[in-house]
Structure 1
Amino acid sequence: MQRRQLIQLATASLAATALGAQAQAFPSKPIKLVIAFPAGGPTDITMRSLAENASKILGQAVIVENKPGAGGTLPAQGLQSAPADGYTLAQIPLGVFRMPYTTKMTWDPLKDLSYVLNVTGYAFGLVVRSDSPIKNWNDFVAYARANPGKLTFGSTGTLTSPHLTMELVANKLGIELSHIPYKGSADLMQAVVGGHVMAAADSTGFAPQVEAGKLRVLNTWGDQRLAKFPDAPTLKELGLDLVQNSPFGIAAPKGTPPEVVKRLHDAFKKAMEEPSYVQALARYDMLPNYMDSAQYLKFAQDTSAREKVLIDKLGLNKPQ
C-alpha cells in the first residue's frame, strides 16, 4: 500500500512538473485570436490593437482572424474542435450565452469554454441617415405606427444584442419593424449610409459616420448619455426602462491547462492597460472593462440566466 501511494505521489509530482514546464515554455509559437466580426469595424480595430500589445508581452505574434456570421457565435463554436493548448483563442460576444435557448447545439457555453478575461464592451444606439425625414425618436415611432412592418432597420446579425433590443422595444411599444441582418458594423454602416435600410441598431461603430455628418443618432442605450453624443437621449430618458450594453472577452478551449490560462490572462490584462488600446476603444466610446477568469465565468453564468428570460419573453426559443 505504501509503495502504491509513493508511486501515485511521484506520478502526481511529475504531472505537476510537466504542466509547470508547459506553462513556462508557453507560448513557443504564434497564437490565433478569432474575432466574431468583419475587418474594418470597431471590434476588429480594437482587438487588433489589443493583440499587438499582447504580442509584445508574450514574445510571440497574436494573429487576429475574422470569422463573422451566425450572430457572432462562430469563434466560440470553433473552440470546440481546437486543441486545448492555448494557441487558439476566441472573442466571446454576449450572443454566445443565448445559443442554448435559440439553437440546437451539442456543447454548453458555460461548461465547454475556458474563460480567460473580459476586456471591454459595446455601447449601443440607433442611427439614421442625416438627410432622413426621421429627425428624432418620436418621428421613428410615429412612422412605424403609421406604416406597420415598413420601417427597416439593420443590425449586426440575427439574435445579437442590437437585434433583440430593438425587438424588445417594438414589443413594449406595440410597433412592427422589419429587421435586416448584416455580418458586422462595417457592412451595416455601408447599408445605412447607402440607403438600403432606414435605420441601423449598432454598437458605436457608427461614430466615424456620425462625425462625418453622414448619420444622425436617435438614441443610445446605456445608463447615461455617451460623452461623444451628448445630444442623443438614452432609452430610459425616452420612457423605456431599458439599459443595454454588451461586455465581451476572450476564452480558450475547455481543458486548457490553468497555468496557460493564467499566462494568457496576465498578458492580455497588461495589454489592456497600454495607452494605444485605451485610445482605440475611445474612438468608439468604449472603455476597458476588466474581469479576471473567475469573474468572467460568473458573468457568463449570470448573463445566461438573464438572456433566457429575454428569449422567453420574445418567444424566440429554439424549436422543440
Structure 2
Amino acid sequence: MFANTRDGHASPEQQARRRFLQASSALGLTGLAPGLATAQANWPSKAVRFVVPFAPGGSSEIVARSTAAELSTTLGQSVFVDNKPGAAGNIAMAEVARSEDQHTIILGHIGTLAVNPYIFDKLPYDANKDFKPVSLLAKVPSLYVVHPDVPAKNLTEFIAYAKSKPGKLSYGSAGNGSAGHLAFEYLKMTSGFFMLHVPYRGTGPMLTDLLSGRLDASAIGAAAIIPFIKSGKVRCIATGSAKRLPQLPDVPTVAEQGFPGFEMTQWYGMLAPANMTAPHLAKLSAETMKAVRAPAAQERLRGDAAEAIGGTPEQFAQFIAAEQERWKKVIARANIKPD
C-alpha cells in the first residue's frame, strides 16, 4: 500500500493515512480500520462551512477563499466561506468549538490562537483543547502604511514625526489583539514612539477611515493593502518582512531602517472542532495540504504577497505553541487589553 514510503517520498495523503493507521494500531483499533477507512472515504457528505472570524476585506478572507476554492475541488464538495466577526474572533471560535456536524471548520490566526488567551480573563473557548489543528495555510507580511497627508516618506521620518506629536496621531487595527494591533505595538516597543490605538471590527471598516484620513496610519496584511498602495491611496513606509517584497521593491523593510532582526508576519491556519473524528481529520489534513500547495493556490496567494505554507497537524500544533510563547511576552510588556 505504501511502496514508496521507505525512501521518504510518500505523498501528504499517504503520510496522513499512515499516521492514522499507526495510531489505530497503537490503540488496538486495527480491526476497525476498514470501517473507519470507509467513514473517511464517505466524508464530506455535504458542503463544508469554513468560518472566518472577521469582517470581509482583510487578509483572512483572501487566504480563506483561496484555500476554499481549491479544497472544493479536492474534497468533491463545496467549501464556502462564512464571515462571522465580533469580539476579537471569540464569537466565531466559540460557535465552531461547539459544532458537532463534522462539516464546520474555522480559520485560526495569530489573534484567536496566540493573543486572546493572554488578553482575556475568561474566553468562551480553549484555544488548545477545543480545536484540532489541521494545517498552517499561509503567512502574510504586515505592511506599515500612512495616509498620504502624513508628511513622512519612510519609517525614520515617520518615527520622528510621531515623536514630535505625542498622543496626537492615531493608528487603526481590525480590533484589540488583532494582527495589525500586535504589529504596530511591536513597532512602537522597538522604536520608542507613542500613538493612539483605535480598534475596529475588522480590516474593512478600519480601511474606510484610513483612506478618508480619519486615521493617520495602520499595519495591515500585504494581501489586503497592496492594491491601495499601488493606487496611491496610502503610502507604505516599511514592510515587516525579512526581505523586500517583489511587489514593492522600492519599500525597505523595518530591519533595513535601523531595527535589525525585526520581522512581523500574520499567519493563518485551519482548525477543526475537537470532536472531529480521526478519519475525517486525516482526510481533511491531507486534502488541505494538497489544496494549499496546488500551483493555482500558490500563484493566487503569491500575487497578494502571501506565502503558501501547508503542513501536518503536528507541525501546526508546534507552530501555535511557539507563537503563544512569543506573543505572551509582548502582550505583557505592551499591556494589551481587550475592548
Q: What TM-score, normalized by structure 1, do the two folds share?
A: 0.88
Deviates more, 1:130-139 or 1:115-124: 130-139
Please list the CA deviations of residues 117-157 of structure 1 after superposition, one character each: whole Å capped at 9, or x if unmatched. Answer: 11101210111233432222223212221211111111122
Is 1:86–2:120 an aligned residue pair? no
Secondary structure at 2:188 match in 1: helix
| Residue number among 253, 256, 265 corresponding to 1:234 in the alignment | 253
| Residue number among 232, 235, 243 corresponding to 1:216 in the alignment | 235
CA 1:126–1:271: 2 relative to 1, 3 Å: same
Partners of 1:312 and 1:179 lie apart in 2 by 17
Partners of 2:313 and 2:88 lie apart in 1 by 24
Partners of 1:56 and 1:267 lie apart in 2 by 10
Deviation at 1:186, TM superposition (A): 2.6
Deviation at 1:18, TM superposition (A): 4.4
Deviation at 1:13, TM superposition (A): 6.7
2:15 corresponds to which residue? none
Please list the CA deviations of residues 96-130 of structure 1 after superposition, one character each: whole Å capped at 9, or x if unmatched. Answer: 22222111125421222111111101210111233
- The residue correspondences of 1:197-216 to structure 2 (distance < 5 A) are 197-204=215-222, 205-216=224-235
Is 1:186–2:204 an aligned residue pair? yes
Is 1:46–2:66 an aligned residue pair? no
2:13 corresponds to which residue? none
Secondary structure at 1:202 match in 2: strand
CA 1:144–1:231: 2 relative to 1, 3 Å: same
Q: Is the 8 A contact 1:221 1:245 kept in 2?
A: yes
Amino acid at match of 2:105: L
Structure 2, unaligned runs of 5 or more = 1-27
Aligned residues: 307
1:154 corresponds to which residue? 172
| Residue number among 42, 45, 55 corresponding to 1:28 in the alignment | 45
Amino acid at match of 2:226: A
Q: What root-mean-square deviation, in Å, do the aligned CA atoms of Structure 1 and Structure 2 show?
A: 2.2
Is 1:281–2:301 an aligned residue pair? yes
Amino acid at match of 1:187: P
Secondary structure at 2:308 match in 1: coil
Please list the CA deviations of residues 262-314 of structure 1 after superposition, one character each: whole Å capped at 9, or x if unmatched. Answer: 11112222212333322321232111112211100111111111221112222
Q: Is the 8 A contact 2:155 2:254 kept in 1?
A: no
Partners of 1:279 and 1:235 lie apart in 2 by 26
CA 1:43–1:12: 2 relative to 1, 3 Å: closer
2:10 corresponds to which residue? none
Deviation at 1:203, TM superposition (A): 0.6
2:18 corresponds to which residue? none
Q: Is the 8 A contact 1:265 1:293 kept in 2?
A: yes
1:133 corresponds to which residue? 151
Please list the CA deviations of residues 196-216 of structure 1 after superposition, one character each: whole Å capped at 9, or x if unmatched. Answer: 101121111110011112221
CA 1:231–1:13: 2 relative to 1, 3 Å: closer
Deviates more, 1:30-39 or 1:71-80: 71-80
Q: Is the 8 A contact 1:156 1:188 kept in 2?
A: yes
Structure 1, unaligned runs of 5 or more = 1-10
Deviates more, 1:120-129 or 1:268-277: 268-277
Partners of 1:172 and 1:59 lie apart in 2 by 47
